[in-house]
Structure 1
Amino acid sequence: MATGGQEHEGASARRRLPPSAHLRVFEPLRAYDDESQLVIAQQRDTPRAELEERLAAESLRRILREISDPFPGPDVEQYRVLHYPGADGVTAPFFCPDQVQTRATIAAEQLDHLMRPQVLALVMPEASRAANAERTDPDRFADEVAHLHTRTSVWGVPLAWFVALREDDHVEIDEDEQSLLGVRLAAPAVQVLERTRVAAASLAINAPELDILDELTSLGDWLKSFHEDSIVELDYGLLADYVWPDDSPQDLRLGIDSLGDGDMVGAAASYRRLTNRWVRVRQNARSN
């Protein structure tokens, strides 16, 4: 269990940002090139909670700075470290680059389809987008888009992620004196891929019309692009304070099993429990 003993600027910043869940892939050190390994060596002793606090504070400063430019600069890459216990009982470190500049650029492109142009111009002026494009290395951007280590969801967790990680997986809890700041579940990528494969095969036979089938296929294709010895992590972030302990993985698993058994009543009951839990969370996103 990771804890924060007192109020920090970063911890406060985390509570001021929208609650977001993250699905991350942590690769072993040997998966990175020599240059990246040198950066990792300089950062690997930074406590996870300290890094999360710093990244949240930097994000908030970008949003609130006087010159309206929410994009990060091409700074030195930041790496999260996950210490995962192996089958032999030995804990080994795994690493996940933040890739914040690339993720911010992708998020900006997605906003084009979600916000009215007048509002978008206030949040993200064209001058800031042009400046970001100018300072972005196109080769690095293309490489990171093809090998993006983090997926993010605001005010909710995609159903496919509950297939990937389960409530009895390795867990780390990040909290301070006020609330949960995050709960992180982790499992080996090979295990996660097997879970997604089995669930997708069952749904393809019993409920091919469900959107989650496409989500599982996309998730499996994404995970196959990483080192086979990687670790997958689901980080609830501030959403943990709303739902943890969370029965969503179990409810989804029961629902898929019920579909396989032809038990439509059981499947409907599982889905109802799952959706009711997260509808209440999403209602907070629309509250003033």
Structure 2
Amino acid sequence: MTGNLYHGQAGLPFSSALRIYEPLEAFPEEQQEALREAGSRGGSRAAVENAELLASLGRITRPGGDPFPTGATDLVRVLAAPRPDNALPAAPTADAGTSGAGHPDGLLYCPSQLVLRAGLAANALMEGIHGPLAQLLIPEEQRDKHQERIDDVRAHAGLGRVHTRASTWGIPFSWFCLFQESDPTDVVESEGHIVTVRIRATIGEALERVRYAVAHLALAAPDLDMLEDLTQLTEWLELFHPESVVELDYGAVADKVYPDESPMDVRLGIECLAEGDMTGAAAAYRRLASRWIPIRQLARAS
């Protein structure tokens, strides 16, 4: 697949995302009309990514010291619902309204929820090791102002579920448990580079896989940090509609690692641990480490 490079992407930190796309009926009624309008506009995925990136850069550089989104608009990513044979089209098309499996408009929706996610990210930053620096960069007045936006969004939209998880400088190994190499995959390329790779699974498949991993790790390696990550991931997935789709969007890091066998290596590592094969588990981890530790080290590069 060919797509446009996102404007201004070069030189920014690698950012990846795990997204949930839900059918229209999973959202509050007052939110459905806006989602339906986003689906009917049929804009390209690259256009949505560009708009989100340019908006984030604009917030960083605008005067007044407020880096938070205002909530005036919220971008929406749209995906054609799985067909009965589980084949997922690469992207919504003009006739996507007739291709769904049980959904009135044949589409699934993932709202960006920028106001809510920005607030959660700021809180995590304040509570982390860089909290004192964050307090200087984001004045308390601006944090309080944004909390009012969060309260307003929650009051009007009834949002209790965050549809997107983001990660910079690498993809958490726990995310790979949700996918297999045979899942529908889009490789977006432009000018000889991979812009991103997107791999998708139904939420039923993802839950089955992550529960399998939790069950085996709980017995074979209960002290492994990954077990806690997988438990939290399971609880998150269980919040969503049973006909949802989960998407892993590699982002620009795909150009460094793809073709990527991480989903297979994570699965093999867990299976080896369950069978008591420490040599096999160590080999799988070495393959993962050799692929992803250099990426994570870029976060500390000057």
Regarding TM over 0.5, the answer is yes
Deviation at 1:255, TM superposition (A): 0.8
8 Å CA contact retained: 1:27, 1:94: yes
Identical counterparts, % of pairs: 42
**1:27 and 2:22 aligned:** yes
1:102 aligns with 2:97: no
Q: Aligned in 2, Cα 1:104/1:278: closer, same or farther, shift over 3 Å?
A: same
Asked whether the 8 Å contact 2:76–2:111 carries over to 1, the reply is yes
User: Could you tell me whether the CA contact under 8 Å between 1:14 and 1:57 is conserved in 2?
Assistant: no
8 A Cα contact 1:19 1:154, kept in partner: yes
Secondary structure, aligned partner of 2:282: helix
Task: Name the aligned partner's letter for residue 3 of structure 1.
Answer: G
- Larger mean CA deviation between 13-22 and 272-281 belongs to 13-22
What amino acid is the match of 1:28?
A: P
Aligned partner of 2:79 in structure 1 is 82
Segment of structure 1 superposing worse, 74-83 or 229-238: 74-83
Task: Tell me what 2:90 maps to.
Answer: none
Structure 2 residue aligned with 1:225: 239
Deviation at residue 224 of structure 1 after TM alignment = 0.8
In structure 2, the residue matched to 1:71 is: 68
Deviations 1:129-150 (CA, angstroms, capped at 9, x unpaired): 1322233335617943x31111
Kept after mapping to 2: 8 A contact 1:180/1:241: yes
Letter in 2 for 1:182: T
What displacement does 1:219 show?
A: 0.9
Structure 2 residue 217 is the aligned partner of structure 1 residue 203 = yes
| Inter-partner Cα distance in structure 2 for 1:117 and 1:227 | 36
Q: Extract unaligned runs of 5+ from structure 2.
A: 88-98, 101-105
The 8 Å contact of residues 2 and 49 in structure 1, kept in 2 or not, is answered as no
How far apart are residue 2 of structure 1 and its match?
A: 5.1
Tell me what 2:59 maps to. Answer: 62
Q: Give, in whole Å, the separation in 2 of the partners of 1:16 and 1:177.
A: 17
Across the aligned residues of Structure 1 and Structure 2, the Cα RMSD in angstroms comes to: 2.0
1:260 Cα deviation after fit: 1.9
Map 1:1-288 to 2 at 5 A. 1=1, 3-4=3-4, 11-44=6-39, 45-88=42-85, 90=99, 92-116=106-130, 119-138=133-152, 140=154, 143-144=158-159, 146-177=160-191, 179-288=193-302
| Cα distance change on mapping 1:179 and 1:263 into 2, 3 Å | same
How far the C-alpha of 1:35 sits from its partner, in A, is: 2.6
Hey, what's the Cα distance between the residues in 2 that align with 1:207 and 1:133?
40
Per the TM alignment, residue 84 of structure 1 is displaced from its structure 2 partner at its CA by 4.4
Instruction: Sort the Cα spacing of 1:121 and 1:214 in 2 relative to 1 into closer, same or farther, 3 A.
Output: closer
Secondary structure of the equivalent of 2:66?
A: coil
Worse-matched range after superposition: 88-97 or 63-72:
88-97
Within 2, Cα distance between the matches of 1:242 and 1:143? Answer: 39
- Number of aligned residues: 282
Alpha-carbon offset, residue 3 of structure 1: 1.2
How many Å separate the matches in 1 of 2:56 and 2:192?
21
Q: 1:287 and 1:208 mapped to 2: Cα distance?
A: 34
Could you tell me which runs of 5 or more consecutive residues in structure 1 were left unpaired when the two chains were aligned: none
Secondary structure of the residue aligned to 1:272 is helix
SS, match of residue 198 in structure 2: strand
| Cα distance change on mapping 1:254 and 1:128 into 2, 3 Å | same
Taking a change above 3 Å as real, the CA distance of residues 69 and 38 of structure 1, as seen in their structure-2 partners, is same
